[in-house]
Amino acid sequence: MEPSELERVARQIRLRDLQAVYEAGAGHIGGEMSVIDLLTALYFRVLRVWPDQPRHPDRDRFVLSKGHTACALYVTLAKRGFIPEEEISTFLKPHSRLNGHPNCNKVPGVETNTGPLGHGLPVAVGMAKAAKLSGAKYHTYVVTGDGEMQEGSNWEAIMAAYQFRLDNLTLIIDHNRFQQGASLSDTNDLAPLRPKLEAFGWEVSEINGNDMHAIVPALEHRSDRPHCIVAHTNKGHGISFMQDRVDWHHKVPSKEQYEIALAELSEAL
C-alpha cells in the first residue's frame, strides 16, 4: 500500500478502536491512537506475514511491548485477516480471547505475551539473535512506549543487540511524551532519546510517527547495526479533546465524548 492508502486504513482502525473501547468500558485509548499509524504501516506495507499461516517460519516477527494498547493490535490483526473482524465486539468480555493484554496462546498473529513493561524488547532481541544463529532471514520489529524506556531491562537489551550486531532488529519507540498519570518530563525524563541510543552504537532515525510518508521509509530502512526509530507521536491522535492529554491514558469516553470523537474520525474517512 502507498502512504495515502495506509492513512485511510489507519483512520478506519482508529474508528473501530474507539468503538471497541467505548463498548467495553475499558482500554488504553490515548496510547492506542498514538501507535495506530505505526501498526498500520507495519501490517499493511512492511511485515512479511501470512494471515492464513500465522506461524509460518519465514514470517517477520512483531512484538507490541506496550501491551496495554492491545485493542489497537487486535483491530489491526482483524483488518489484516488474522482474526474475524466481528470478534472485535468481544473485546474484554467474559471468555473472550481478546484480553486487555495480548496472549500468543490465544490470538493468531501475536508473537509473545506482553504487558509487563520492559519485557518486549529483550524478547525481540532473543528473536533476532535466534535468526542469526539459525540463518533465518526474518526481521524482528518491536514497539515500546517512551515511558517504558525507563525500565533498565530495555537498556540491557540495547547493549546486547549492539554486541551481537543485530542488523535484523528494528526498535520503534512510540514517543508520545506521556505515561500513566504524568508526562514523561515529570517522571524520569529520558528525552532526547536519540543521543542515548546512538551512544550504545545503534543507528537512529527520528520521525513524525503519525505521518505515513515518514513512517514507511524509516521502517523499510536497513542498516549494518540495530536500528531505532524515535517516532514522535501524539497521545490521543486524531481526536481533538484527547490529544496530548495525560488523563486519556486509560480513560473511557462518555456518551457525549464518544459521539464527538466518532464524528471527528468519521469525517476524516
Q: What predicted TM-score, i.e. pTM, was given to this entire model? A: 0.97
pLDDT of 160 reads 98
Q: Where do the domains of the chain lie, and which CATH numbers do they carry?
A: 3-267 (3.40.50.970)
Nearest-angstrom CA–CA distance, 12 and 268: 9
DSSP string, 84-117: -GGGGGGTTSTT-S--SS--TTTSTT--S---ST
Report pLDDT for 17.
Answer: 98
- What is the pLDDT averaged over residues 211-227? 98
pLDDT value of residue 269: 77
Range 182-190 average pLDDT: 94
Cα gap 154→144, rounded to integer Å? 9
